[in-house]
Amino acid sequence: MDHFTYRDGTMYAEDVSIPEIAKSVGTPFYLYSSAALLHHFKLFDAALASMDHQVFYAMKAASNQAILTLLADAGAGMDVVSGGEYARARRAGVPGELIVFSGVGKTRAEMEIALGGGIRQFNVESEPEMQVLSEVAIKMGQVAPVTIRINPNVDAKTHSKISTGKKEDKFGIPILRAREVFAMAADLPGLKVVGIDVHIGSQLTELEPYGLAYEMVAELTKVLRADGHEISRLDLGGGLGISYKNSDDTPPTPEEYAALVREKVGHLGCQIEIEPGRFIVGNAGILVSEVIYVKSGEDRNFLIVDGAMNDLIRPAMYGAHHEIVPVQQPLDHTNYENYDVVGPVCESGDTFAKGRALPSMLAGDLVAFRSAGAYGAVMASEYNSRPLIPEVMVRGDQFSVIRERPSLDEMINRDILPKWH
Ligand code: LLP
């Protein structure tokens, strides 16, 4: 179901016209549909309904508190990867027992924040981390629930920068050493082993790698139980891909994914924990930008828009494809032209798309970058001293600014001249 559709030639987000929002907020901005967010969350939750499960939204994908509260109210927990994300989740009203803490480099300070505020589990990724967590927990007079993330050495068949389950990746402990490391964890005071964690990568468009990894998890569950460990939770990570192109990619559905989970690990009597990020928010958000200039190069046409690589880094960083569509649909007789869609940042990498066919554009026209909800706003920077752009959410016929555009002064005033100046 698409929540960004055309009515009489104008693109709407749910029941709000996008030019109306642009007029009020200015461009560029991120725009989320609350109905789409809820729809995606519910799809996932419903697909897993026949199993004891909990969805933990991977908030690294988009962490605005308006998104977090919306999902938390619908029953989502949060997967956090930093003290900052933990604090945001708590501020958004998520209770500690619905927060899992992932990541290879948790610091003592972050562990203290989470243990102090309450946490469902730490997904631990190495022996030194285990050691430190044990020390922190003892010092605080607490017992830290832990799962241990294993690295199953499977190829997730995704972009190398977002693959995490191969032996050359920095994540998890090699599955071959799992028994040894679980034994060590069980011996450490202040820790309580509660399960196994695995996450093999992001934007997976095939089920097979999941199948391989989850089979290994099932096997390991039996082995570890025989060793005397309580394995009551399986955190199966996130990573289910979404469609970025209108035409070709058709990733598995949550139903297909859930059927695989049921088949591979459903019989073990564990609680199933899932950490989807992109699936929930990716296609629930767009980036709206205005054409500044249409420039004719020697043999190319450039569409210079006011959004740039600092606002949406995915094309520059991963060669990612985002559909770029006009907010105002062309009249029937409009010519199409091939444009290189670029931002104003001073490097050639600030290119969103090359030779993209779009109706003839004029300065002032609006374009929408589709599928920009996940890893869009959260990966933005102020490169070229461009302030972070606002985020807006729609619900039905209402829209609300959920993060304001900082003024130039707000951005610049954070600099402090050295005291010897
Ligand atoms: N759990 C863990 C431990 C993760 O590391 C991640 C993503 C997720 C869950 C959520 O994965 P998802 O369901 O969103 O695929 N910036 C990149 C994606 C990085 C993903 C990092 N980890 C991009 O823009 O494609």
Is 270 one of the catalytic residues?
no
Give the pLDDT score at 160. 82
Ligand 1 pocket member 45 (CB < 6 A) = no
Cut 0.85: pTM above it: yes
**Structural domains of the chain sorted by starting position, each given as residue range(s) with its CATH number in brackets:** 4-31+282-412 (2.40.37.10), 34-280 (3.20.20.10)
pLDDT, tens digit, 9 for 90 and up, residues 349-388: 999 999 999 999 999 999 999 999 999 999 999 999 999 9
- Residues 56 and 235: their CA atoms lie apart, in Å, by 10
Cβ atoms 68, 45 nearer than 8 A: no
Give the pLDDT score at 248. 63
Ligand 1 pocket member 237 (CB < 6 A) = yes
Q: Ligand 1 center to residue 226 CA distance, Å?
A: 32
| Cα angle 65-71-75, degrees, rounded to a multiple of 5 | 135
SS3 383: helix
DSSP-assigned beta bridge partners for residue 305: 291
- Residues 98 and 75: their CA atoms lie apart, in Å, by 9
Ligand 1 pocket member 275 (CB < 6 A) = yes
Q: Considering the candidates 226, 331, 346, 417, report the single residue annotated as catalytic.
A: 346
Ligand 1 pocket member 239 (CB < 6 A) = yes
Q: And the tokens for 411?
A: 């951005």
Give the pLDDT score at 247. 62
- Residues 110 and 133: their CA atoms lie apart, in Å, by 10
Q: How many CB atoms are closer than 10 A to CB 273?
A: 24
pLDDT, tens digit, 9 for 90 and up, residues 298-330: 889 999 999 999 999 999 999 999 999 999 998
- Distances in Å between the Cα of 155 and the Cα atoms of 152, 159, 168, 249 are 9, 10, 11, 19
- Residues 281 and 162: their CA atoms lie apart, in Å, by 17
- Residues 236 and 410: their CA atoms lie apart, in Å, by 41
DSSP-derived secondary structure letter, 106: -
DSSP H helices, 168-272, are: 178-187, 208-226, 254-265
pLDDT, tens digit, 9 for 90 and up, residues 132-180: 999 999 999 999 999 999 999 999 888 888 778 888 888 999 999 999 9
SS3 129: helix
Give the chain's residues under pLDDT 70.
247-248
How buried is 37 (Cβ within 10 angstroms: 0-12 exposed, 13-18 middle, 19+ buried)?
buried
Residue 371, CB half-sphere, CA atoms under 13 Å: how many?
Answer: 16
DSSP-assigned beta bridge partners for residue 415: none
Helix (H) or strand (E) holding 12: strand 10-13
